Structure 1
Amino acid sequence: MAQKLLLVDDDELLRERMARALTKRGLEVHPAANADEAVAVARAEGPDLAVLDLKMPGRTGLELLTELRGLLPELKCVILTGYGSIANAVDAMRLGAVNYITKPADADQVVEAFRRGGGELPTEPAAADEIHPPSLAEAEWNHIQQTLSDCDGNVTRAAEKLGIPRRTLQRKLKKLAP
């Protein structure tokens, strides 16, 4: 029987890709976009493992970690963040996380983080032909979309953050996603 993993991240694209990749590695993945969804999924599914984003709208990953460990004391959690710091890592471990990794991270790094934290995981990695790193066009599109999201949809601010002219950004946005 596959181990159940709760994957919590407010970045939809990262959540979907990570869920697919972890499923290919033999885990039953239950995604959630925020802390409230995560608690509901945890109550319904009783996951064995959890990957929690540190910075999310509303409650943080550390607050969620505390709540989930209260609901499921045996739950093994890895904190995933784009804002790595020693203080955050220490706080996460003190609150019961088994490991802490920084973004960008892939499914292999997540699985390895659980293994280093003492978790028993499926040993079969995905076949080499099943692993498809994003193309340069996909990586650029994802970066643009994330920056635009960070700027609350403001194209002018996103173009400034990306260091490109506004019209160039508008042309890129008119193209279909790769």
Structure 2
Amino acid sequence: MKILLVDDELELVSALSERLSFRGFDAEWVTSGEEAIAKVNTSKYDLAILDVKMPRISGLELRKELEKICPSLKFIFLSGHGSEDDYYEGSSGADCYLIKPVKIENLVERINIALGL
């Protein structure tokens, strides 16, 4: 199973990728929506973990773009400061909506559920 992590916080997204790889996941990361679109255009992913608030393209907007490219892609949203509206929009279009800082055990559990593992 291949996972794409998208968050504008470089240290967070690289650390999450590393921690997920230690748990057996094939996790790649990028720091912008534009990079995520390019990755999904060239590689197949099973799940995307998206930060809700990012510059230029929000995670909510990015989900819509990525679904056009790969309709079977599953989504988990992460947010450190999302609004109630973001929560409802994000949770309706994702397998899960988690608040940062997220415990790796909780994220792994949600990944397994989203991927049916």
TM over 0.5: yes
Taking every aligned residue pair, what percent have the same amino acid on both sides?
A: 36
The 2-side partners of 1:83 and 1:23 are apart by 26
Higher RCO (C-alpha under 8 Å, 6+ residues apart): 2
Which letter maps to 1:120? G
* Alignment deviations for residues 87-142 of structure 1 (CA, whole Å, 9 cap, x no partner): 21210133x211100100133222222344x4224xxxxxxxxxxxxxxxxxxxxx
Greater Cα radius of gyration, structure 1 or 2: 1
Q: Equivalents in 2 of 1:108, 1:86: separation in Å?
A: 25
Work out the number of aligned pairs and report it.
117
Matching residue of 1:108: 105
Decide whether the 8 Å contact of 2:7 with 2:13 is kept in 1.
yes
In structure 2, the residue matched to 1:36 is 34
CA contact (8 A) 1:100 1:113 kept: no
Moved more, 31-40 or 21-30: 21-30
Instruction: Decide whether the 8 Å contact of 2:52 with 2:82 is kept in 1.
Output: no
Q: Which consecutive segments of 4 or more residues in structure 1 shift more than 4 A?
A: none
TM-score using structure 1 length: 0.62
For residues 71 and 98 of structure 2, what CA distance do their matches in structure 1 show?
Answer: 21
* 5+ residue gaps, structure 2: none
How much is the aligned-residue C-alpha RMSD, in angstroms? 1.4
1:98 aligns with 2:92: no
TM-score, reference length from structure 2: 0.91
